[in-house]
Structure 1
Amino acid sequence: MPDHEPAAPSATTTGVAPGRVNLIGEHVDYNGGRCLPFALRQATTARVGRRDDDRLRVTSRDEAWEGRVDALDDAPGWVRYVAGVVLALDVTQGLDVAISSDVPIGAGLSSSAALECSVAYAVDALLDLGRTPEQLEQASVRAESETVGAPTGGLDQAVSVHAEEHHALLLDFGSGAREQVRFDPASHDLGVLVIDTRVSHELTDGGYEARRDQAWEAARLLGVTTLAEASPAALEQAGLEEPLLRRARHVVSEVRRVDAFVEALRADRWDLLGPLLDASHASLRDDYEVSCEELDVAVEVAREAGALGARMTGGGFGGSAIALVPVERLTAVRSALTHAFVLRGWTPPDFIDASPGPGAHVR
């Protein structure tokens, strides 16, 4: 999906939805666990207008597609996210949809959920459907799982819809509970640096689905509904074979890291956050095996250059890392990362200075 705004049709309604960074709690959403994402300031905009036929036309920069939402054989991948939302909302009205975005694509920052949620909000407002935020969230989840075929757990759409400025959103996929947790690193002279390795990842390529299936099989063997219910002691006594033991160990330990991270924030103990980020990355690298060389180098170099802690974020197999960095070290960390990538013959990473922003809305 290109990132420049095309000319929009007249009489439009505009939906805006952000990308996201997950602070901690990776690959636990579909395992009934807890995670802690926040919304980026970077967002996707969808301008939607009515047509006088039943066709869908989607444009973005110099790309365009037109057809029926129930005939997507020739539709490029990014169009399926849009069409999937229209299908999930049971809309038969023809629509013109113009997309623009500054959320990096393939960086593990949920450009897909930003696209889905921006379209959902715009279509709902334009056609006066009267759907609740929760219903628009679920329509976006259905678009990704049913039309696109990406087996995600719903984390991305939840935070894109429900995020609040200067907060992270604690999501419990076991109980369904959601809680806003104050997260304002700037007030502590800290910054969250997003390091886009520019190694593109695709959640429909099988790696994500394989990890999900292994985790679910481990839960079945442990006799629990979801892995988040398992205790470390039960896990060690279960006699799971590899790689199921390591997959389960990541989920069980990651849920506890999320709880410790939230407790540290509530106690204003920012000094405890870095080691939790480090431990999360080690678990994702060694037990869940969803990291890659570029992510590992980004995390290691960021720490060496002064980050308090760092880890990969998102589904993995490429994408981005995050680092919690004292403000006075941000320039040095960026410089060290650029040098390290160039030294290895890699394309230099892109950077985002991330701060928690608002969720989806109509503009």
Structure 2
Amino acid sequence: MSDPIPAAAALLSTLTDRAPEGVWSAPGRVNLIGEHTDYNEGFVLPFAIGHRTAAAVALRDDDLVRVVSDFADEPVDVSLADLDDAIERGGLDWAAYPLGVAWALRAAAGHGAARGVDIAIASDVPVGAGLSSSAAIESSVASALNDVWDAGLDRVALARIGRIAENDAVGAPTGIMDQMASMLGRADAATFLDCRSLETASVDLGFGAAGLEILVIDTLVKHAHSSGGYRERRASCEAGAAALGVPWLRDVAVADLDRARDLLDDETFRRVRHIVTENQRVLDTVEALRTDGPRAIGELLTASHVSMRDDFEISVAELDLAVETALAAGAIGARMTGGGFGGAAIALLPADRIEDAASAVAHAFATAGYTAPHTFTVTPSEGARRDA
């Protein structure tokens, strides 16, 4: 796949003769651990990856916001005057992501700051793999418009803009983890995020020094956060919190689970148990990385997958097979990553076992009659930035 930064600039040249104001990019992310905890005001530990989405932007003389991408056939345009109505009407498909960012950023910065723009988007972040291609779009466009509209917002505020776009323009009920990871990433580090306070800490991963790599196993089973399964899990979490008399499941400790079992039906209890134990696993993973290094986190990663498979029930057969096969091939730990119902698994492996593990997974998928997975390694990388 081509480098998205020059690709975005080249795509912009097909849209306008004007010179670009610049090119901005933002990464996808892998969530090392902490799944579905973000919208429960809990803890997450994602890291930005080297796969990026770039947005090249040129100013216009009118009030049109026109977007084009390398994954859609035709440009989409909306005037600034009609932007509120267009977002409310919906039906914008992929363009809801960049136009949603423009809508949310314009509201935050004041309507007077906004000007018409042409935006060209190119990406090498796999779509539908649980690597947050959506947050990469949102963060690159937010970074670009923040600069060209002189909005003056900081990175956390831009992450909030991305979440507003995803929640209200796209209609996906996600938390803020993906946007924060994309905005705040650092090389060879994960971002420990408290989703209640939005306080962050950079946590050194040390994979390279330990001779480890992260293998991503994209099952190619597509998922969509705006679909029913994600919404149902969020509703179960809210119902569980209400029954337990707390505002969010963040406020439930592992020691409270015995009481929760008595108060909740079995399904709601298992949903709650996943969130409560997953929050603790995030804290334990951060502590293990800081004190013992990355080889100490394997069991926590694998336990996270078991919890998502059995308690939260968001895995699929392909993800389970990927995890089981990677572990059998020498992975220290493995788990599905992302919202679930498809997407990707990750495996923490000694670097010299990567090829063997990828081959073993491919063989296992072929034997099971599944579509061949896409496997690749990712490196913890820098967050959103201006590239040109």
Shorter-chain TM-score tier: over 0.9
1:269-322 superposed Cα distances (whole Å, 9 cap, x missing partner): 433211111100000000001111110010011111111110000000000100
When normalised by structure 1's length, the TM-score is 0.96
Tell me the CA shift for residue 345 of structure 1.
2.1
Match of 1:193 among 211, 215, 227: 215
Match of 1:298 among 302, 322, 329: 322
Partner of 2:302: 278
Partner of 2:78: 67
Partner of 2:31: 22
After superposition, the CA RMSD in angstroms is 1.7
CA distance in 1, matches of 2:35, 2:86: 35
1:46 aligns with 2:50: no
Partner of 2:190: 168
Q: Is the 8 A contact 1:107 1:318 kept in 2?
A: yes
Query: Aligned runs of 1:204-243 on 2, under 5 Å?
Result: 204-238=226-260, 239=262, 240-243=264-267
1:328 aligns with 2:352: yes
- 1:202 counterpart SS class: coil
- 2:266 counterpart SS class: coil
Tell me the CA shift for residue 362 of structure 1.
1.3
Match of 2:126 among 104, 110, 116: 104
Partner of 2:11: 7
CA distance in 2, matches of 1:172, 1:333: 33
CA distance in 1, matches of 2:164, 2:243: 29
Query: Aligned runs of 1:301-312 on 2, under 5 Å?
Result: 301-312=325-336
Provide the identity percentage. 46
Match of 1:79 among 74, 87, 95: 95
Tell me the CA shift for residue 74 of structure 1.
7.7
Unpaired segments ≥5 residues, structure 2: none
- 1:16 counterpart SS class: strand
1:173-212 superposed Cα distances (whole Å, 9 cap, x missing partner): 1333210000121110111111111111000111111101
CA distance in 2, matches of 1:123, 1:75: 23
1:353 aligns with 2:383: no
CA distance in 2, matches of 1:106, 1:271: 29
- 1:86 counterpart SS class: helix
Mean CA deviation greater in 128-137 or 197-206: 128-137
Q: Is the 8 A contact 2:45 2:192 kept in 1?
A: yes
Q: Is the 8 A contact 2:205 2:293 kept in 1?
A: no
Tell me the CA shift for residue 140 of structure 1.
1.0
Match of 1:36 among 32, 39, 45: 45
Tell me the CA shift for residue 163 of structure 1.
1.0
CA distance in 2, matches of 1:65, 1:174: 36
CA distance in 2, matches of 1:333, 1:27: 27
- 1:310 counterpart SS class: strand
Tell me the CA shift for residue 93 of structure 1.
2.0
Tell me the CA shift for residue 129 of structure 1.
2.0
- 1:311 counterpart SS class: strand
CA distance in 1, matches of 2:143, 2:294: 35
- 1:98 counterpart SS class: strand
Tell me the CA shift for residue 97 of structure 1.
0.7
Tell me the CA shift for residue 75 of structure 1.
5.2
Q: Is the 8 A contact 1:249 1:287 kept in 2?
A: yes
Residues 354 and 74 (structure 1), Cα distance of their counterparts in 2 relative to 1, 3 Å cut = same
1:265 aligns with 2:295: no
1:341 aligns with 2:365: yes
Partner of 2:173: 151
1:302-345 superposed Cα distances (whole Å, 9 cap, x missing partner): 11111111000000000010000011110100001111112222
Q: Which has the higher helix share?
A: 2
1:102-152 superposed Cα distances (whole Å, 9 cap, x missing partner): 000010000000001100111111222222222211111111111111111
CA distance in 1, matches of 2:253, 2:322: 32
Q: Is the 8 A contact 1:184 1:356 kept in 2?
A: no
1:243-283 superposed Cα distances (whole Å, 9 cap, x missing partner): 11000100111111111111111112433211111100000
1:81-106 superposed Cα distances (whole Å, 9 cap, x missing partner): 01001101115422111000000001
Residues 280 and 197 (structure 1), Cα distance of their counterparts in 2 relative to 1, 3 Å cut = same
Partner of 2:337: 313
Q: Is the 8 A contact 2:205 2:294 kept in 1?
A: no
- 1:243 counterpart SS class: helix
Match of 2:159 among 137, 140, 143: 137
CA distance in 1, matches of 2:332, 2:158: 37
When normalised by structure 2's length, the TM-score is 0.90
CA distance in 2, matches of 1:135, 1:261: 27
1:38-59 superposed Cα distances (whole Å, 9 cap, x missing partner): 0000000001111122222111
